[in-house]
Chains A and B, each alone.
Chain A
Amino acid sequence: MAALPKRIIKETERLVSDPVPGITATPSEDNLRYFHVTIEGPSASPYAGGLFKLELYLPDDYPMCAPKVRFLTKIYHPNIDKLGRICLDVLKDNWSPALQIRTILLSIQALLAAPNPDDPLANDVAEDWKKDEQAAIKMAQEWTAKYASTSSQ
């Protein structure tokens, strides 16, 4: 296990002491590079009222490479697939070491508010989305109520 760089300690401390509204990130006790994350669905989106669980891992080369993030809660979203993997530029090619955990989580929250079916990861969802957006949004709301409602967790 690589030593924990000061940067990670700092980021963790700030995530805990000064959390982003609607987002929590707590480091695991036995692996400080592994975070349990929750993101509240943005209020003006089909995911409103949902609380989504994610996992986040900081690879050894962080911050030279992006954190690995995955949804644990099922979500109906054109850019998030069945395994919870997320299609987001800043997690792939557009990662920059000047970004950090909180900015990544904010980007994911923004992705929930603005699904982009033109650059899909889950093709079936994206097709539904393009065919009948209203129905797709309704479906996303149903999934949110079913899998991500705070009472069911």
Chain B
Amino acid sequence: MSSNPFSKNLESVSDPSDWNTTMVPGLRELDSLQRCYICKEFLKAPVMTSCNHTFCSQCIREYLLSNTHCPLCKSEQLESNLKKVILLEELVLCFKKYRPILLELLANSESVEAGDPEECKEMKELQATANDSNSINQDIIEIPDDDVGTSQGQPPLKKRLTDKKHLVDSTLPKNDDLVECPICSELMSAEKLQTLHIDQCLNGKSNSSHRSDSTRSSNMSKPHTFRRKNSPKKTNAISSFFRPVDSPVSDSKSKSAKHGHTPSENEPLHSNDIPVHHLSDRKRLPKLDFSSLTTPRLKDKLAGLSLPTHGSRLQLESRYNQYYILFNSNLDSNHPLSDKVLRHKLSQWEHSHSTFTNTSLFNTKSPINFKSITDKDFPVKLWLRTYKKDFKELVEKAKLTNKKKQEAPESNLTADSNKSEVQSASENLHYGNHDHNQPHSAISDTVDNMDINKGIENSSLFVFDDSQEIANEE
């Protein structure tokens, strides 16, 4: 990441603004509505809070680990109140799947316009009205209540697009999402095969017979429904657009309706790939109260989850917490990943997180990066002990400067010198990354810059009472 992540990553970054260059720029609203307010990505395993706001399960769980309110409306929130939104996840997955095709198709506006100018005009009109009703949607702090307008405006737009899509459908392999497992020759999506199924198959999990039944029966039933319709081609396009959406909905209905039925009876309703009975067996990980847990016990817990047990206490705790978030949010997905994949994700996270990459007592990259001195749990004593020498030097230096200033006439304190000091301080902050000693020189420069007549002891950098402690320890 240190080289230039921008050039490397920009290609893989999708943004609502991608639609600006298409012939339906308003689609950016549809695009941005399906994104998480926290990570700005398409919603992954979306969950709803009790205040009816929606976030990625992982994002909101991570946030609620250290906060107790909704990021959007500040109302009290408990992690246990989060509810998954099955339909939304399928909608987003579906949109994601067709997004690149739509982008490409709508970018080549010439050919489409030539083919059906009327439709095109209609679409632009529709677009204009949609734009009028809500142009604010781009902004991130919007409250979903505003979205009512959009959801009214969008269905016809979307329908138009699905109508258009049958043009593309011919170029698309119809069953591209189904591949055969090399072991049990079950049909499923390639993604599922790679992430979930092959592991289970290799581990000899024996639910394959159940599921192959279900997938096959659903595959069988789909052509039936198509044939029943009048115009096969058109309905094919539409139903394929909504197919993944339909199934979980009917499923959840049936679940609530015939509560108490055995999972195997419900199973044929899962058209695609959700081994639900398997999932419901899995319990969420409990939140741990680390203060009442000894390190060996914590290591036992980690080992019980087949997680690594090396590292400092802090690292063990953050490792558990991160896995806790990953694991529990995975349960909110309609397409959960295997534990193995989760553990891989965890190790990736560790490689990119400062808690694990920095071996020093705490992160001394630069003061501005460092945990704020005003934080409640700031380790004041540790800080004082570590920088005792530096503080002493600073006090000496400040006294010296003070003396000089008293000797020299007031006018010497020009604006320019002050400004350049502040700027050099900031440069030190900025380049502090490279040198552990830099931050202190940054502070020293700033000390020069403070109102020296008030005395160093009163200055904001030395407000803690423990400053006495330095003297005592000497």
Is there an interface contact between B353 and A82, defined as CB atoms closer than 8 Å?
A: no
Q: Mark B48-71, 1 if CB is under 8 A from A, else 0.
A: 000000000001001100100001
A7 touches B40 (CB 8 A): yes
Q: What 0/1 readout, one digit per residue, does chain B (329-369) give for beta carbons within 8 Å of chain A?
A: 00000000000000000000000111001000001001011
A136 to chain B, nearest CB (A): 17
State whether the Cβ of B141 lies closer than 8 Å to any Cβ in chain A. Answer: yes
Q: Judge whether A97 is part of the interface by a CB distance below 8 angstroms.
A: yes
B314 sits at the interface (CB 8 A)? no
Q: Which residues of B contact A19 (CB under 8 A)?
A: none
Question: Is B63 a contact of A2 with CB atoms below 8 Å?
Answer: no
Per-residue A-contact encoding for B1-40, CB less than 8 Å = 1, 0 else:
1100110011011010100000000000000000001111
Within 8 A of B (CB), among A1-30: 1-7, 9-14, 17-18, 28, 30
**B71 A4 Cβ-Cβ under 8 A:** no
Chain A residue, CB-CB nearest to B1: A3
CA of A147 to CA of B450, assembled, Å: 16
A63-B38, A72-B426 are known contacts. Are A14 and B17 too (CB-CB below 8 A)? yes
- Chain B residues with CB under 8 Å of A46's CB are none
Given A9-B10, A55-B368, A74-B419, A2:B354 Cβ within 8 A: yes
Set of chain B residues within 8 Å of A96, measured between Cβ atoms: 71-72, 74
Q: With CB as the reference atom, state the residue of chain B lying closest to A91.
A: B372
Least CB separation from A83: chain B residue: B446
Q: In the complex, A13 Cα to B74 Cα: how many Å? A: 28
Q: Which residues of B contact A84 (CB under 8 A)?
A: 422
Contacts of B363 in A (CB 8 A): 60
Q: Check A100–B72 contact: CB distance below 8 A.
A: no
Chain A residues contacting B59 (CB-CB under 8 Å) are 97
* A11 partner residues in chain B, CB cutoff 8 A: 40
A103–B141 contact, CB under 8 A? Answer: yes
A5: which B residues are within 8 A, CB to CB?
A: 39
Residues of chain A with a CB closer than 8 A to B354's CB: 1-2, 60
CA distance A10 to B451 in the complex (A): 41
B460 touches A6 (CB 8 A): no
Contacts of B418 in A (CB 8 A): 74
Contact (Cβ within 8 A) B415 A31: no
The reply to whether A99 and B141 contact each other, CB–CB distance below 8 Å, is yes
Partner among B9, B66, B429, B449 whose Cβ is within 8 Å of the Cβ of A64: B66
Q: Pick the contact of B71 from A55, A72, A73, A98 — CB < 8 Å?
A: A98
Distance of B366 from chain A, by nearest CB (Å) = 8
B131 within 8 Å of A (CB atoms): no
Q: Which residues of A contact B (CB under 8 A)?
A: 1-7, 9-14, 17-18, 28, 30-34, 55, 57, 59-60, 63-64, 68, 70, 72-74, 81-84, 92, 94, 96-100, 103, 146-147
Sample (9) of A-B pairs whose CB atoms are under 8 Å apart: A6-B12, A7-B39, A14-B15, A32-B6, A34-B430, A73-B419, A94-B74, A97-B37, A103-B140
Q: Please give 9 more A-B residue pairs, beta carbons under 8 A apart, in addition to A9-B13, A14-B15.
A: A1-B433, A2-B353, A13-B13, A32-B6, A57-B368, A59-B369, A68-B369, A92-B374, A98-B141
4 nearest CB pairs, A to B = A3-B352, A96-B71, A98-B37, A97-B38
